[in-house]
Structure 1
Amino acid sequence: MNVRFQRGVMALALAVLLAGCSDGGKPGTVGKDLKAVGGLHVAVIPKGTTHEFWMSIHAGAIKAQKEYEAQGVSVRLTWKGPIREDDREQQIQVVEGFLSQGVNGIVLAPLDASALVRPVQEAKGAGIPTVVIDSALASGDAVSFVATDNEKGGSLAADRLGMLLGGKGRVLLLRYQEGSASTEAREKGFLDRMKAQYPAVQIVSADQFAGPTRDTAKRASENLLNRFGNQVEGIFTPNESSTAGMLLALQDVGKAGQIKFVGFDSSEAFITAMRNKQLDGVVLQNPFEMGYQGVKTMVAHLKGQAIQARVDTGVTIVTPDNLDTEASKALLNPPLSEYLK
C-alpha cells in the first residue's frame, strides 16, 4: 500500500468519524462541533409559492442568511412549500420530508391552524424546533410566533372604510378560506371594529369565501357582485388573492371606483388601481421583515440565545394619499431582485 493511498484511507475514516459524532444521533440537535463552526440547516416553509407576499418572505429570509454569512456563521436555507394555499396535505408532506432530512430548525407559515399541529409536534419530538410565521398555530409547540397583529389590520380596514362611507352604508366582506388563522383574525378585527365604531354600517354579506387563488376569488367576487352589486357601497377583502380577484371582478362589470374598496397586502396591480382611484387602500404587513425575523429568531434559538415568544412585525394602511411617502414605498416595493436572483 503506497503512502498516498494510506493517507486517503485515513482522511476518509476521519471524515466518517466526525460526521458520525457531530449531532449526537438526534436529527435536530446541533452538536458541539457544528455549533463551533455555526453550520446550521433551516427549512423555510410558506403557505404557498406563487403570491408576491411569499416572495417577499423568501427575500427577507435570504437577507438574514447573508448577514450570518458575513459574520462567519454558515446558515443553509431550504425554501419549499405547496403551490396552492389550500393544499394542506402537501404542506404536511413538506414538513415531514424535512424531518427525515434532519434539518436543525423549521420556519413555518401554517396554512391551517389545526392541520399542522401534529407535524410540528412530531418535529419537536425529533428535537427540531419550529418558529411559526404569518399565521398562528393552535398549539404551544412552536418556540416563537413572528407575525402581523392581524386583528389590528382588520380594524384599520374598518376605520378606512367607515371613514370613506361617512359612518353609514352597506358593506360586504369576502373572506379568504376556512382554517387560515391570519385571515380569520383580520376578518374578526374588521367585523368587531365595524360593530363597535360604525353601528350604522350594515354588513350585507360576510359568509362567503374567496378560496386560495386569484381565479377562485374572482369567481366568488362575481357571484357576490351579481347578488349585491347594486346594494353595496363598500367592500373589504383580507389578503392578496382575494383583493386581486375582487378588483378584477369590479373592473369587468364596470364598478371599479364606484364602490369603496379596501384590500390587504401589496402588488403592482394594487398600486396601479390606487392611482386610478379603483382601490381606496390596502392594509400592509411587512412580509420581508417577517421572513427576516423568522430566520433570525430560529438561528438565535439554535445558538442557545434568548428569543421572544411573540415578534410583531407591524401593520399599516396605505391609501392614494400616502402612496408616495418613503415609508409606503419601502413596504410596497421590497428589494426582491436584490435577494431572489
Structure 2
Amino acid sequence: MKWKKSAFGILALGASSALVLAGCSADAGTDSNGDAAAPNEDGYSIAFVQGVAGDEFYITMECGIREAAEAAGATVTVQGPQQFDPTLQRPIVDAVVASQPDALLIAPTDVTAMAGPIQAAADAGIQVVLVDTTLEDPSMAVSQISSDNFGGGEAAFAAIEAANPEGGKVLVVSVNPGISTTDQRAAGFEAAAAENPAFESLGVEYSENNPALAAQIVTAALQANPDIVGIFAANLFAAEGTATGVQQAGRDGEVTIVGFDAGPAQVQQLRDGVVQALVAQEPASIGAQGVAQALAALEGEPTEEIIQTGFTIITADNIDGEGGEAAYRSSC
C-alpha cells in the first residue's frame, strides 16, 4: 500500500490502480461441461446483484459495470434487495440463476448464508465474480474484487488520532456482524486504536444499515459517554446516521466523525463541517474490473483470484479537487 500525507494531516491511501494479491485461476473460463463459453448474437449477458438497492456505492459500481460491458458488447441487468439482508437477496439470486446469464457479479450480503445460492449459480455454468463483499469459502468464484477494507479502518483511526492528539474514547458504528467488508473495516480501526494507549475503544455497535438506528445509537452513546472524541462510521448509511446523532446530541464540532463511503449526503455533511473526513472507495473501478474478470473467464483466459482497489481520504481541503472526483454518483 502506498501511504501519503493529506492536507488534513492524516495518513491516506492513494487512489491507486488495482493491486493483485493472488495468482490466477487455472480453470476459470469453462462452462459446466468444461468448455469455454461462447457469446450469443447479442454478446455476453451479465447480471449484477447489488448488496442493497439505492446505495450510491452500488449505483457507482453499476455505472462502472455498464460502461465496461457496453465497451465489450455485453448486456447488463441489475437487481438488489431493499435491505442488506440475505433473506431478501437470496430469492433475487435464485431468479437470476433461473434466467441463465453468462456471468454473475454479486456483493454477498452474508459470508455464509449466501454461499448456497451463489454455489448454485456456479454449478449452473454461470461465471461468478464477487464484488465488494465476499464469502467464507469463495472457491466457486473466478475472482474477488474489493477495497482494502482493513487499511481503510486503520486510516479512519489515523484521522481521529490526528484530530485528537490527547486521546479519548472512540466508537465504531457498523452495519451487521458477518459482512466481510464492514467487519474488516472495524477490525482495522480497532487494531489501530489498540496501538495507542491514549485512546479507549468502546467497541462496535450495529445499525442494521438503518440511518435512524445509527442516529439513536450515537445519541445514546454520547449521553452515556460524553467524553467520546471520535466515531468511525463503517458504511454510507452508518455515516449518515452518525452525523445526525451527533447533531441531535448537540455535539457538532466536538466529535470527530470519519465516515466510510462518500455519497452525496456524506459529501454535503463534510462541506457543512458535520463530518471531518470520508474514506472513499473506488466502486466504479471494482465494477469495471469485475466485468473484465467475468469476460476473461467466459473467453477461457486466466483470471486474477483476488484484486484489491485503493481508496481516497476526502476532507474539506481536497473536496473541490481530487477528493471531489472520488465522490460517488447517484445515477449513471
Same fold (TM over 0.5): yes
What are the ranges of 5 or more consecutive residues in structure 1 without an aligned counterpart? Answer: 1-24, 70-74
Structure index of larger Rg: 1
The structure carrying a bigger strand percent of its residues is: 2
* Number of the residue aligned with 1:254: 250
Q: Compared with structure 1, are the counterparts of its residues 305 and 26 closer, same or farther at alpha carbon in structure 2 (3 Å cutoff)?
A: closer
* Number of the residue aligned with 2:59: 55
Give the Å deviation of 1:38: 6.9
* Number of the residue aligned with 2:101: 103
Give the Å deviation of 1:27: 10
Code of the aligned partner of 1:223? A
Determine the C-alpha separation between the residues in 2 that align with 1:260 and 1:132: 33
- Residue 330 (1) aligns with residue 297 (2): no
Indicate if the aligned counterparts of 2:210 and 2:238 stay in contact, CA closer than 8 A. Answer: yes
TM-score, normalisation: structure 1: 0.83
Q: Compared with structure 1, are the counterparts of its residues 275 and 108 closer, same or farther at alpha carbon in structure 2 (3 Å cutoff)?
A: same
Code of the aligned partner of 1:328? G
* Number of the residue aligned with 2:119: 121
Which digits, 9 at most, give the CA deviation of each residue in 1:57-93, with x for residues without a partner?
A: 1111111112113xxxxx11110110111x2112111
Q: Compared with structure 1, are the counterparts of its residues 93 and 193 closer, same or farther at alpha carbon in structure 2 (3 Å cutoff)?
A: same
Indicate if the aligned counterparts of 1:108 and 1:133 stay in contact, CA closer than 8 A. Answer: yes
Indicate if the aligned counterparts of 2:36 and 2:300 stay in contact, CA closer than 8 A. Answer: no
- Residue 225 (1) aligns with residue 213 (2): no
Give the Å deviation of 1:321: 2.0
Determine the C-alpha separation between the residues in 1 that align with 2:35 and 2:91: 21
* Number of the residue aligned with 1:202: 200
Give the Å deviation of 1:221: 2.3
- Residue 281 (1) aligns with residue 285 (2): no
Indicate if the aligned counterparts of 2:169 and 2:227 stay in contact, CA closer than 8 A. Answer: yes
SS of residue paired to 1:262: strand
- Residue 91 (1) aligns with residue 89 (2): yes
Indicate if the aligned counterparts of 1:264 and 1:283 stay in contact, CA closer than 8 A. Answer: yes
Code of the aligned partner of 1:121? Q
Give the Å deviation of 1:29: 7.3
Indicate if the aligned counterparts of 1:27 and 1:104 stay in contact, CA closer than 8 A. Answer: no
* Number of the residue aligned with 2:48: 44
What are the ranges of 5 or more consecutive residues in structure 2 without an aligned counterpart? Answer: 1-30
Indicate if the aligned counterparts of 1:30 and 1:104 stay in contact, CA closer than 8 A. Answer: no
Give the Å deviation of 1:101: 1.1
- Residue 186 (1) aligns with residue 199 (2): no
Determine the C-alpha separation between the residues in 2 that align with 1:176 and 1:273: 20
SS of residue paired to 2:303: coil
Code of the aligned partner of 1:213? N
Indicate if the aligned counterparts of 2:318 and 2:324 stay in contact, CA closer than 8 A. Answer: no
Indicate if the aligned counterparts of 1:175 and 1:206 stay in contact, CA closer than 8 A. Answer: no
Indicate if the aligned counterparts of 1:53 and 1:287 stay in contact, CA closer than 8 A. Answer: yes
Indicate if the aligned counterparts of 2:37 and 2:299 stay in contact, CA closer than 8 A. Answer: no
* Number of the residue aligned with 1:214: 211
* Number of the residue aligned with 2:162: 163
Report which structure shows greater RCO (CA 8 Å, sep ≥6): 2
Q: Compared with structure 1, are the counterparts of its residues 28 and 213 closer, same or farther at alpha carbon in structure 2 (3 Å cutoff)?
A: farther
* Number of the residue aligned with 1:241: 237
Determine the C-alpha separation between the residues in 2 that align with 1:317 and 1:52: 17
Which digits, 9 at most, give the CA deviation of each residue in 1:269-319, with x for residues without a partner?
A: 322222232211011101111112112211121112222111212122112
Determine the C-alpha separation between the residues in 2 that align with 1:225 and 1:295: 44
Residue of 129, 132, 135 corresponding to 1:131: 129
Q: Compared with structure 1, are the counterparts of its residues 226 and 67 closer, same or farther at alpha carbon in structure 2 (3 Å cutoff)?
A: same
Indicate if the aligned counterparts of 2:46 and 2:103 stay in contact, CA closer than 8 A. Answer: yes
Determine the C-alpha separation between the residues in 1 that align with 2:37 and 2:157: 50
Determine the C-alpha separation between the residues in 1 that align with 2:132 and 2:293: 14
SS of residue paired to 2:169: strand
Indicate if the aligned counterparts of 1:218 and 1:245 stay in contact, CA closer than 8 A. Answer: yes
* Number of the residue aligned with 2:18: none
Q: Compared with structure 1, are the counterparts of its residues 27 and 88 closer, same or farther at alpha carbon in structure 2 (3 Å cutoff)?
A: farther
Determine the C-alpha separation between the residues in 1 that align with 2:237 and 2:124: 35
Q: How many residues align?
A: 302
Determine the C-alpha separation between the residues in 1 that align with 2:51 and 2:192: 28
Q: Compared with structure 1, are the counterparts of its residues 286 and 184 closer, same or farther at alpha carbon in structure 2 (3 Å cutoff)?
A: same
Code of the aligned partner of 1:104? D
Determine the C-alpha separation between the residues in 2 that align with 1:261 and 1:60: 29
TM-score, normalisation: structure 2: 0.85
Determine the C-alpha separation between the residues in 1 that align with 2:230 and 2:240: 16
Code of the aligned partner of 2:71? E
Indicate if the aligned counterparts of 1:44 and 1:79 stay in contact, CA closer than 8 A. Answer: yes
Identity of aligned residues (%): 26
* Number of the residue aligned with 1:145: 144
SS of residue paired to 1:257: coil
Give the Å deviation of 1:324: 2.1
Q: CA RMSD in A?
A: 2.2
